[in-house]
Amino acid sequence: MVNGEEYWRGLASGERRGCAAWLLLPVLKVLALPYGLLLRLRAWGYAAGLLRSRRLNHPVISVGNLAVGGTGKTPMTALIARHLLAEGKRVVILSRGYGGSNRRPRIVSDGETLFMTAAEAGDEPYLLARDLPGLMVVVGANRYEAGRLAERELRPDCFLLDDGFQHLRVQRELNILLLDCRNPLGNGWTLPAGVLRESKSAVGRAELIVLTRCDGGETFPSGLPAGIPVLTARHRLTGVVPLDGGECRSFPVLYGERILAFAGIAQPDRFFSGLAEAGLDLVGSLSLPDHADYDDRTIAGIRRSFRNTGATCLVTTAKDAVKLERYRRQLGKIWVVQLEMALADPTVLESMVDELFTTGEGHARHTGHPPQS
């Protein structure tokens, strides 16, 4: 049975057709017109200097997307953070902390100590802080103030602005836009008629475009602005670790198990299909809301599905796992899938990032190109 979110996504991506879609889509387009216009005016206001965009004292690299749903922002942010840390830089991630309990700026990690839980920080900032030694993370609804807190307390060399493409109040030296290679712009409409957060003309603000989820068989989208470098990347499930920790194991460790998979992420069907492609025997799957809050009722539902499907173990994502620690005994045998992003040619990205530190000119640039029509 298709739930409301799945139905809307199919409609907004252009993949769902039929009489009901034919009747509903014009209504959604009427609603999308003022929304899209408002966002174009907002972007124009920042580009023209009518709305205030503030600069931090250290280079800012923004990673974001144009469409709602998972394009791989967290794996891409982690990839860039690893490169900068390997270069000896003091890196701070600035995140809104979606799903966390705090709106005021707070330090999640100083690179050595975790000061907040996943419930407080949000699952993705907590996951990045936990898994990347030396990485500093600050969350807050006002990411400029979060950056100022980091500059006072953490002595950063640079910032990574997580999910920052629409966060125009903070200026950035490198603006990276992620697009899903399989369906980069959906049906071309903004919310609620399409999957776009703002008009597709906003692509012109990017200085680097990364097409994610590429497997080599796609036809790359046409109409991307000329002069903006385009890279391709793929998501790769690398293996599993037990929920209570340990080394990453290859997928054959689960061969012979009857697996119930669950995930509270955007587009969980891609996660499930990846498990099947890895050779695992999925006897059931549970799609939970993105950034799902796990409570006793949710856990009871997972356990009920576990019994009903005859599963022998559970599998979930790292993003979900950070919120499951207190339910470890109730869930029993559970494995956490590890995900990485791999660029087909990382040298372009690395050179653009490194350029910010080779001269003093990088920090003088402002990457907010005017919106294109």
Residue 3 pLDDT: 58
Answer yes or no: is pLDDT of 345 > 80. yes
Least confident of 1-15, 218-232, 263-277, 303-317: 1-15
pTM: 0.88
Structure tokens at 304: 């009920």
Rounded Cα gap, residues 324 and 138, in angstroms: 22
pLDDT digits (tens, 9 = 90+) for 236-280: 899 999 998 889 999 999 999 999 999 998 888 889 999 999 999
Can you give the length of the chain in residues? Answer: 373
Answer yes or no: is pLDDT of 209 > 80. yes
Q: Tokens 């603006």 sit at which residue?
A: 175
The 3-state DSSP class for residue 373 equals coil
Q: What is the DSSP string of 155-196?
A: --SEEEEET-TT-TTB--SEEEEEEETTSTTTTSPBTTTSSB
The 3-state DSSP class for residue 313 equals strand
Question: Can you list the domains of the chain with their CATH numbers?
Answer: 60-234+342-364 (3.40.50), 237-340 (3.40.50)
Structure tokens at 359: 């001269």
